[in-house]
Every structure is written in structure tokens, then in C-alpha cells.
């Protein structure tokens, strides 16, 4: 059985006090483990502080990115080892904003994924097509390419620490959401590709999250799909109320 995971990607949002308040609110409401796994990904600069807030609770902590080398002359970067050292169990890699705005190529994402696994982290690997690619009927091809490039050097021994997130670029922050049929189809495709790359056990065990304008009112529908194992939530994770409502919806899915 795959446990549902609801992850909040705060992106480059929250000031220090706001971050503490948001995390504290979640810990208050979701301090002990329930039927759904809950994770938050604050900006790097708050990770140390937020690690202290969530310590001992069921709220798990992720970084939004990490570099592909453990240390060295990479001004402005943060390594997976540093992320692990600050108390994160997880890192999000290959988010479309990094791919589109910040220079993450398929190849670089693959190197980051490998480095993150080496550092002992669990990884949320994001993949997703643009609107143009969907309209050109290239969705499956793009998803396959991004998935396989991300997992290029990842062997089956560590893949139990992998979560995949399907995030159609056209749905991120736009208020547009994939229909349940579109989401289920993409997730089923990704699961098939995991079976081809590894084996059917890996494919069956790996959680595949949906991301892209997930809100309290569409979360239950999306997560009721057989291959949708949770959500990666951006905008709606910035309010404890709406994030908790999504967790609540997920609990019934
Ligand atoms: P959104 O972002 O929920 O604001 O669309 C999702 C994401 O980018 O992870």
C-alpha cells in the first residue's frame, strides 16, 4: 500500500516569523502521525529554524533544491549534505520553475538526484509538460525523457527513497488543474515507465504525486485516482487553513 503524501512547496515565500507561524500551526494540527504523510519545503534560510519547530512531530521537512556536489567552490549553492545536516529528510528536485527559469537541464537534474541519494536524502523528482508540449501530443514523451534522465544513475537499491511528482507546467500557479482523467493518464504512464526502468515491484511501491493548482476543493477528486498518491502543493500550502483542508481531503481519499 502506498501512503498518501501531501507536500507543501513554499517556493520563495514567507518571512521568518510567517514561516515559524505556518509550521507551528501545522505541528499543532498534525503533530502525530495520521493516515497521510505531511511534508513542508520552506526556503533554505528558514530550514534550520523550521527543523526545530517540526522536530518530534509527524511533519517532515524538505529542501526545494540542492546542488550536485557535496562541497566546494560553488558560490551561492547548497549541497545535499548540508540539507541533510540541517535536519531535512527530503529534497525536491527538477521543479519546473528550476527547469524553466533557473537553468536545471535534464542532465543536471539527474546529477542532483544522484547526489541527493548519496547524501541519504529522500527525493521528490518533478516532471511535467508545457502547454505547447501537451497540445503537440508530446506529454508522454516529455515525461519519459525527464523521468529517465532524472534516474539515469539511480539504481534499484535506493529507489525506495524516491517519490515522483507529476506537475503539468501549464497548471502550476495558474488556477488551471489537470482533469482527473489527464492526471490519472500521466501517472499511469509514469508508473509504467518505472516498471520498464526497474521492475513492477518498484513501480507499484513508488508514490506519484500530482501538483499544479491543488486546492481544498479539487484535492479529494485528484487523489481518488488509483495512481495519484498525494499532492505537491504550492500556493495553497502558504495558508495553514487551506493546507490542512487538503490534508483532510487526502485523509478521506
Ligand atoms: P501551485 O504550485 O500549487 O501553486 O500550482 C505547485 C508546485 O509548483 O509545486
Distances (CA, A) of 82 to 53, 67, 68, 245: 18, 10, 12, 32
Closest CA to 244 of 3, 2, 22: 22
Q: Whose CA is nearest to atom 1 of ligand 1?
A: 234
The pLDDT confidence band at residue 175, using thresholds 50, 70 and 90, is: confident
Q: Are 226 and 1 in contact (CB under 8 A)?
A: no
SS3 at position 221: helix
The pLDDT confidence band at residue 253, using thresholds 50, 70 and 90, is: low
pLDDT-wise least confident of 126-130, 169-173, 234-238: 169-173
Tell me, what's the pLDDT at 25? 96
Can you say whether the dihedral through the CA atoms of 170, 171, 175, 179 is positive or negative? Answer: positive
State the catalytic residue, choosing from 81, 97, 129, 167.
Answer: 167
Which residues of the chain form beta strands (DSSP E)? 5-9, 37-41, 59-63, 90-93, 122-127, 162-166, 207-211, 230-233
| 3-state SS record for 71-118 | CCCCCCCCEHHHHHHCCCCEEEECCHHHHHHCCCCHHHHHHHHHHHHH
For residue 120, is pLDDT > 70? Answer: yes
Q: What is the rounded CA–CA span in Å between residue 76 and residue 57?
A: 31
Tell me, what's the pLDDT at 1? 84
For residue 10, is pLDDT > 90? Answer: yes
Please confirm, yes or no, whether 95 is among the known catalytic residues.
yes
For residue 205, is pLDDT > 80? Answer: yes
Closest CA to 124 of 164, 168, 160, 88: 164
State if residue 150 touches ligand 1 by the CB under 6 angstroms criterion.
Answer: no
200 phi and psi angles, rounded to 5 deg: -70, -30
Report the half-sphere exposure of 68 (CA within 13 A, side-chain side): 15
Mutate to test the pocket of ligand 1, among 216, 233, 242 (most ligand atoms within 8 A of CB): 233
For residue 203, is pLDDT > 90? Answer: yes
- What integer is the mean pLDDT of 8-19? 98
231 phi and psi angles, rounded to 5 deg: -140, 145
Angle subtended by helix axes 16-29 and 47-54, to nearest 10: 20
Ligand 1 atom closest to the Cα of residue 211 is 6
Query: Which residues lie across from 93 on neighbouring strands?
Result: 125
Amino acid at each position: 500500500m502506498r501512503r498518501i503524501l501531501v507536500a507543501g512547496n513554499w517556493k520563495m515565500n514567507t518571512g521568518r516569523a510567517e514561516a515559524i507561524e505556518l509550521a507551528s500551526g501545522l505541528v499543532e494540527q498534525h503533530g502525530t502521525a495520521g493516515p497521510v504523510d505531511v511534508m513542508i519545503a520552506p526556503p533554505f534560510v528558514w530550514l534550520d529554524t523550521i527543523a526545530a519547530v517540526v522536530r518530534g512531530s509527524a511533519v517532515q521537512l524538505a529542501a526545494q533544491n540542492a546542488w550536485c556536489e557535496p562541497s566546494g567552490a560553488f558560490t551561492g549553492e547548497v549541497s545535499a549534505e548540508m540539507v541533510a545536516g540541517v535536519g531535512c529528510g527530503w529534497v525536491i528536485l527538477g521543479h519546473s520553475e528550476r527547469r524553466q527559469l533557473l537553468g536545471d537541464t535534464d542532465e543536471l537534474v539527474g546529477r542532483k538526484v544522484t547526489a541527493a541519494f548519496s547524501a541519504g536524502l529522500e527525493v521528490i523528482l518533478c516532471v511535467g509538460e508545457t502547454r505547447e508540449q501537451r497540445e503537440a501530443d508530446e506529454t508522454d514523451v516529455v515525461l519519459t525523457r525527464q523521468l529517465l534522465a532524472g534516474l539515469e544513475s539511480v539504481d534499484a537499491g535506493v529507489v525506495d527513497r524516491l517519490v515522483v511528482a507529476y506537475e503539468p507546467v501549464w497548471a502550476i500557479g495558474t488556477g488551471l488543474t489537470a482533469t482527473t482523467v489527464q492526471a490519472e493518464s500521466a501517472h499511469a504512464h509514469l508508473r509504467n515507465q518505472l516498471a520498464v526502468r526497474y521492475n513492477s515491484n518498484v513501480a507499484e511501491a513508488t508514490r506519484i504525486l500530482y501538483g499544479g493548482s491543488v486546492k481544498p476543493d479539487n484535492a479529494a477528486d485528484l487523489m481518488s485516482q488509483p495512481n495519484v498518491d498525494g499532492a505537491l502543493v504550492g500556493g495553497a500550502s502558504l495558508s495553514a487553513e487551506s493546507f490542512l483542508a487538503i490534508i483532510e481531503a487526502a485523509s478521506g481519499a
